[in-house]
Amino acid sequence: MQLYRLLNYLTGVLLLVGFPAYSQFNRPVYDTTVTPGIRYKAELGGLASTASRTPFWLRANQFGTVPLESPSALVTLGATALWGDARQNRRPYIKAGVEAVGNLNRASRFILPEAYAAIRLGHAELYAGRRKEINGITDTLLSSGSYAWSGNAVPITQVRLGTKDYAPLHFTQGIIAFNAFISHGWISNTDSMKNVYLHAKSLFVRIGKPTWKVRFYGGMNHFVQWGGYSKYLGNKVSNNGHLPSDWEAYKRAFWPSKIDEQNTKGFTEFDTSNRSGNHLGSVDIALELNLNRENLLFYIQRPWDDMSGVVFGNLPDGIYGVRWKNNRKIEGFGLLQITAEYFTSMDQSGDKYPKGNDDYFNNVQYLNGWTNEKRSIGTPFFTRWMDASYKWQNIRGPFNHFSTFNNNKIQLFHLGLLGKISSLTTFQTKLSYSKNYGRPYSKDPIKGGANQFSGIASISTQTKILTNTEWVLSVSLDRGQWLPNSLGAMLTMRKLINPRL
């Protein structure tokens, strides 16, 4: 309890300044160009598979742009613009971006994964709109997916204040640096839930200067779904379908304190016995070793869904990862990076109520769970009922409750490889083996777990004939008991145009 109060206090004080914690390792998922100008992007792709489902690794962690249905064609148009000099930290500059994706198939749709404007000054940034982001300490390139915010769903529209990188504390001579953010967002409406808000904040600390060979990282993510309306909610968990959305509800979202039973105006019976809003996140720690010929990163993401997780009552649940990165110059064929992860969510704070059976990403009030536009905001290995093979789609959890996520109790072994074939050609592989047990306290537990293998191999090359043009061919396989068996391929052509302002 004292640890939880201390973390909340530090978060509340430091976020008044405002700092954001994007994933810190490998290339960022947002554009980092520092030269002024407008850059355009056009992509044309097509995918097909042996089943009507797109294989897992062709669609996972793609910001909701690759459809579940196969075959499909994809058309992408995008642009980013920078006004000002990003290398002058004492002068503000403005950045904006937009990306539109069209899925052409039996259920064609239009997706807008990016549409934002940002103003930056030094380490600080304020932006409004949608932007591709991954939150938490992880390897953004080859990971199975950051636990709470992986880049699997279409980005949420937000107003966000924070830093775009680590901001050093000058009185420590740069030995200690902070990276954090605070934001308010609007989760997309669905048939089940409307007008749901997002509250998000994050605080991370780095110990060690950027030039040091050893650096330590640690911090906490806090995400909340709050407010909203659903005609399917009963009066025990809502007020005629409405969930608290006033200033008092926002304060409970920012600081998840227990509601005073003498002052329950606007709150439901469910809110007073639990917390107002759907709270979740992760506590992350990492060690980075930057050696002469290689870089090593060891990281742990520990999930939390309530107080029991914050005080480590759900051990050993979490993602345990290591990334090796080659710092040597490679002329021809060679490995550039290896990432290995183990992920378990089998404990979920035990099987006792009220602090057990956490049922990660599901919530009695928020019927779609931790999703945006029907995709998991967090790890894609917590699968939705419609992703699973038909025999598993009706799995129920605590109190015989049916939810969007019918599989959040898993064990996962994951391996990612990145290599170079020539100066113009690279390859990438992700191999994932999981045992899937459904949900905690399930009426029909999956004894022994349903085995599943999902893998992908991609090759990317640039041609000398068409400058700034990249071709990517990916082949992906799902084989096992949990997902429908499928073998699929996707071919994409990407063209970049960089005229000056």
Q: Are 23 and 135 in contact (CB under 8 A)?
A: yes
Domains with residue ranges and CATH for the chain: 2-227+277-497 (2.40.160.130)
Residue 239 is given by DSSP the state B
Token pair for residue 163?
């830093």
Predicted local confidence at residue 233, as pLDDT:
93
Rounded Cα gap, residues 332 and 377, in angstroms:
38
Pairing of strands 318-326, 294-304: antiparallel
Token pair for residue 65?
């742009």
Predicted local confidence at residue 9, as pLDDT:
35
Q: CA–CA distance from 156 to each of 125, 153, 173, 265, 374 (Å)? A: 17, 8, 36, 30, 12
Predicted local confidence at residue 466, as pLDDT:
75
Of the candidates 269, 216, 219, the one whose C-alpha atom is nearest the C-alpha of residue 244 is 269
Rounded Cα gap, residues 261 and 268, in angstroms:
11
DSSP 110-142: EEEEEEEEEEEETTEEEEEEE----BSSSBTTT
Predicted local confidence at residue 357, as pLDDT:
78
Alpha helices in 373-469 (DSSP H): none
Which residue spans within 359-409 are E strands per DSSP? Answer: 371-372, 375-376, 383-384, 405-407
Residue 227, judged by CB atoms within 10 A of its CB (0-12, 13-18, 19+), counts as buried
Residue 56 is given by DSSP the state H
| pLDDT mean values, one per 10 residues, the chain (501 residues) | 37 33 51 78 96 96 96 96 85 95 94 97 95 96 97 98 93 95 97 96 96 97 96 92 92 84 74 86 97 96 88 92 94 94 93 75 94 97 93 81 91 97 94 95 77 98 82 97 97 83 44
Rounded Cα gap, residues 410 and 318, in angstroms:
11
Residue 188 is given by DSSP the state P
Token pair for residue 340?
């290995």
Q: Position 369: which residue type?
A: G
Of the candidates 378, 346, 111, the one whose C-alpha atom is nearest the C-alpha of residue 223 is 378
What are phi and psi for residue 251, nearest 5 degrees? -60, -35
Rounded Cα gap, residues 318 and 356, in angstroms:
16
Token pair for residue 288?
């980075």
Residue 259 is given by DSSP the state P
Token pair for residue 200?
């998000």
Q: CA–CA distance from 219 to each of 132, 178, 286, 292 (Å)? A: 21, 9, 9, 27
pTM summary value: 0.91
Token pair for residue 500?
């000056």
- Using the CB atoms, write b or e for 339-354: b if 16+ within 10 Å: bbbebbbebbbeeeee
